[in-house]
């Protein structure tokens, strides 16, 4: 009886705008109850990095914690949108089985790589002091931040990392924007937007704002395309509202400085970058967003190079098994049922390290 009624209830909610808004707000409120602002007790690196900044609050990342049950915490670093607190909405129950979740939400009004890395290092040290080693979980642009952190900051710090999970990694600018104006295979919407942003002069405020607004519309279009004709639950609606709020309330300078951070990412070399366990998840339709000449795609498709870069890493393709609904770039929200089994299997192996020897 319940199974028969649920489709009717869902259709009624979708068609009634008042009920739709109430459902989304209620879901968001319940989510927020479990997310608590978190500040490491010792912020030595953050304060040192802040000394070189004109304004700390304009570029300071906000950290939230959600308590879990296990001893393998996860630090989530998202892409451009949505925030970390939304991007793994459908992975939260799974990850909380293994430990607490720490979310790093980017500032709206700017971005500083040195400060972000300082905050991340302080957080890892705090977790290490509690006797735990975290997993760094990066999505898209966030995966690139993790790789840059491991390359530039990690070697100089005594940090203990349990593993790294990279979902649809964007490790360098050339993953999204081809050099020299190449157009083979068609120009992707995001590629066009990013190229215009990167070509804008830093003193051309109106030009930057115009191009960032184009990018905002592009991100809205990507989310709506992912939603398609799906049955959107209250959780989807809450995330949709948060995404639109982020896009609306992030001024052009905030988006622009993140794009500049992306521009500073180096192409992946031959490594090794990190000797611990690494899980890389590539969507079957990555090529709809990443350009054909993407250095990251080339790395992941070359087994020998990938093994040199991540000696204990594995790369998995995430597929829906149907041509009607291919898994898109970083589609953790709409294709969670295909991501979660792969994540669960990898996290389970982290609890029994000897199993990695068999991979």
Q: Give me the residue label for tokens 């952190």.
A: 149
DSSP 8-class letter at 310? S
The model's pLDDT over 221-249, given as tens digits with 9 standing for 90+, comes to 888 777 776 777 888 888 888 888 888 88
Of the candidate CATH numbers 3.40.50.1820, 3.40.50.300, 2.60.40.10, 3.30.56.10, the domain formed by 18-351 belongs to 3.40.50.1820
Any bridge partners for residue 66, and if so which? 101
Give the angle subtended at the CA of 46 by the CAs of 45 and 49, to the nearest 5°. 85
CA distances 152 to 71, 220, 257, Å, are: 27, 33, 19
Where do the structural domains in the chain lie, given as residue ranges?
18-351
Residue with tokens 């990412």: 265
pLDDT on residue 354: 54
**Dist CA 93 CA 86 (whole Å):** 13
Determine the pLDDT at residue 166.
99
**Low-confidence residues in the chain, pLDDT < 70:** 1-32, 181, 183-187, 229, 353-359
Angle at which helix 17-34 crosses helix 234-249, to 10 degrees, equals 80
Q: What is the pLDDT of residue 80?
A: 94
The pLDDT score that the predictor gives to residue 356 is 53
Q: Record the pTM.
A: 0.89
Tally of CB atoms within 10 A around 132: 17
> CA-CA distance, 152 to 146, in Å (whole number)?
10
- pLDDT value of residue 358: 45
């Amino acid at each position: 009886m319940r199974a028969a009624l649920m489709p009717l209830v869902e259709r009624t909610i979708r068609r009634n705008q008042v009920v739709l808004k109430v459902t989304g707000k209620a879901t968001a409120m319940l989510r927020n109850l479990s997310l608590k602002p978190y500040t490491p007790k010792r912020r030595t690196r953050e304060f040192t990095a802040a000394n070189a900044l004109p304004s700390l609050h304009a570029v300071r990342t906000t950290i939230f914690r959600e308590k879990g049950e296990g001893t393998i915490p996860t630090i989530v670093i998202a892409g451009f949108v949505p925030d970390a607190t939304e991007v793994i909405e459908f992975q939260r129950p799974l990850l909380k089985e293994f430990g607490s979740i720490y979310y790093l939400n980017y500032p709206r009004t700017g971005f500083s790589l040195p400060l972000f890395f300082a905050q991340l290092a302080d957080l890892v040290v705090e977790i290490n002091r509690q006797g735990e080693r975290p997993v760094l979980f990066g999505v898209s642009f966030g995966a690139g931040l993790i790789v840059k952190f491991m390359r530039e900051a990690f070697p100089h710090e005594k940090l203990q990392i349990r593993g790294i999970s990279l979902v649809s990694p964007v490790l360098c600018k050339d993953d999204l924007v081809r050099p020299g104006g190449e157009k083979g295979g068609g120009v992707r919407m995001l590629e066009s937007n990013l190229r215009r942003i990167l070509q804008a002069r830093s003193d051309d405020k109106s030009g930057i704002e115009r191009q960032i607004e184009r990018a905002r519309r592009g991100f809205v279009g990507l989310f709506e395309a992912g939603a398609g004709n799906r049955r959107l639950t209250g959780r989807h609606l809450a995330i949709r509202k948060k995404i639109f709020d982020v896009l609306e309330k992030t001024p052009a300078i905030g988006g622009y400085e993140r794009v500049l951070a992306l521009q500073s990412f180096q192409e992946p070399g031959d490594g090794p970058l990190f000797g611990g366990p690494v899980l890389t998840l590539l969507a079957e339709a990555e090529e709809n967003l990443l350009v054909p000449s993407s250095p990251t795609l080339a790395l992941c498709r070359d087994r020998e190079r990938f093994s040199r870069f991540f000696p204990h890493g594995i790369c998995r393709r995430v597929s829906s098994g149907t041509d009607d609904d291919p898994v898109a770039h970083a589609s953790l929200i709409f294709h969670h049922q295909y991501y979660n089994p792969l994540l669960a299997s990898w996290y389970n192996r982290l609890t029994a390290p000897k199993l990695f020897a068999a991979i």
